[in-house]
Amino acid sequence: MPQIKTQLAELLLECRFHQPADKFRSQRPFLPDIEAVQAILFNPKQSRQVKIAAYRGWLEKNQPCVFGKTAATNKGVYICLLEEQEILRMARGDADVEDTIQDHRQAWKRLALEGRVSSFLILLTSKQLVLKEPNDALKEICRRLLELYMRIKVPDDSFQTEREYVFLRRPDNTLLKFSTLPNIFCAQGDGRWWHDHRTPGGIMITSNALGHFVYARSKKTQLDETACASALEQAMRTIANARKDPSDGKTKFAHCPATMLVPRNATDPTPLRPTSEFSGFSTDHYAGYFHTDHLIPSVFFQKERDPRTLHRYEDLGFRYIFDPAADPVGHAELMAGIPAKWFEAQQSMDRIPDFADPEHTSMTDSRLRGRLTSWLEDRIRSRC
């Protein structure tokens, strides 16, 4: 008989009542930026939209990802907020959680079609969860949330096996589709060696469509070398932004920064201008103590602030951003975009209500966007 998966609500309750508190957190409280947002996220008197706005404000100022920060500033991140108490009240358990995620996933794709958003973010908030140790129990909650989103099995340290596509309508009404790269973030990262993957509230999954973002922001009909070089610089800046000392001088970290640029050999070609601040670094690869393409990096889920030993990955790639010859599939799917048919887009948005029909309406109308938000909130209320 097939094994029955443990429901997300069960995992949350098991963690609340049976998993150890994070001793590190009692010695090193959350930084003020995290505490300030959590005061809003955990306040039952605040509305869903107020909580989402507070979290978006945190993204704008405090995440190291340059693309994500810019997208958040321009409201280019679509947020699905899942509160623990709602999950515990959902009558059909994971079926309701999955439907809620998929509703928001499709709303994101609907708005992305018009270039209004490029990134999808799932935020699971829990006042109890943020104070728990980063152990296997927390990892299982992350895994279950990812599986409910992606609808595939997600082993430790695995790569994305099925592409998630988001679509962009072009001026001639044809379509391009772009693949996304999901990543996991946890409150427990705050102050640890993986500080750059921290989040207020609990657990966050982000799925970024880099090529879609570049097209939508630049309004270009196709990517040129200048656009790709600019995107490369932003990606390199994100890696360089990794926190070098999460303790502000109080503790020496062996594995910070968690990701780092590597020097470029003088004879290696580069698409960057000689005046670029990154011209002295490799545009082929960078290094890190976790693999940035792993869906569930198992190295995060250890109670130590900075473990004694961590494997260093030396071949994390940049080349897909700018070099179609070296990585034709990666460049096409993640940057340049692939021509798509309308039936593909329609299939990926098959639960969107008729008033927001992808092929025949435009989400430039703020009233339609408001109706879509109300539709989502009504759907959540019906499940709780």
Identify whether 268 is part of a domain: no
> What is d(CA 166, CA 112) in angstroms, rounded to the nearest whole number?
7
> What is d(CA 52, CA 66) in angstroms, rounded to the nearest whole number?
20
Identify whether 179 is part of a domain: yes
Is pLDDT at 382 greater than 60 in this prediction? yes
Identify whether 318 is part of a domain: no
Identify whether 77 is part of a domain: yes
Of 9, 12, 1, 57, whose CA–CA distance to 33 is shortest?
Answer: 57
- CB-side exposure of 381: number of CA atoms within 13 Å? 7
* Percentage of the chain modeled with pLDDT above 70: 99
User: What is the DSSP pairing of strand 202-208 with strand 259-263?
Assistant: unpaired
Structural domain boundaries enclosing 37 = 8-219+295-303+336-383
> What is d(CA 202, CA 105) in angstroms, rounded to the nearest whole number?
20
- pLDDT of 91-124, one tens digit each? 999 999 999 999 999 999 999 999 999 999 999 9
Cα torsion 92, 95, 99, 105: sign:
positive
- pLDDT of 116-162, one tens digit each? 999 999 999 999 999 999 999 999 999 999 999 999 999 999 988 77
Q: How high does pLDDT run on average in the chain?
A: 93
Report pLDDT for 72. 78
Would you tell me how many other CB atoms lie within 10 Å of the CB of residue 330?
Answer: 17
- pLDDT of 225-281, one tens digit each? 899 999 999 999 999 999 999 887 778 899 999 999 999 998 888 999 999 999 999
> What is d(CA 310, CA 343) in angstroms, rounded to the nearest whole number?
46
Number of domains in the chain: 1
pTM, entire model: 0.95
Identify whether 329 is part of a domain: no
> What is d(CA 165, CA 212) in angstroms, rounded to the nearest whole number?
10
Alpha carbon 289 to its chain's center: 19
Q: Which residue has the tokens 């439907």?
A: 99
53 Cβ contact partners less than 8 Å away, ≥ 6 residues apart: none
| 145 contacts 124 by C-beta, under 8 angstroms | yes
Helix (H, G, I), strand (E, B) or coil at 260: strand
What kind and span of H or E run contains 123?
A: strand 119-125
Is pLDDT at 1 greater than 50 in this prediction? no
Identify whether 72 is part of a domain: yes
- pLDDT of 5-53, one tens digit each? 799 999 999 999 999 999 999 999 999 999 999 999 999 999 999 999 9
Identify whether 276 is part of a domain: no
Identify whether 79 is part of a domain: yes
Query: In the sheet where 202-208 sits, what is the strand order?
Result: 77-83, 119-125, 202-208, 181-186
Q: What are phi and psi of 338, to 5 degrees?
A: -120, 130
DSSP string computed for 58-76: HHHHH-S-HHHHHHHHTT-
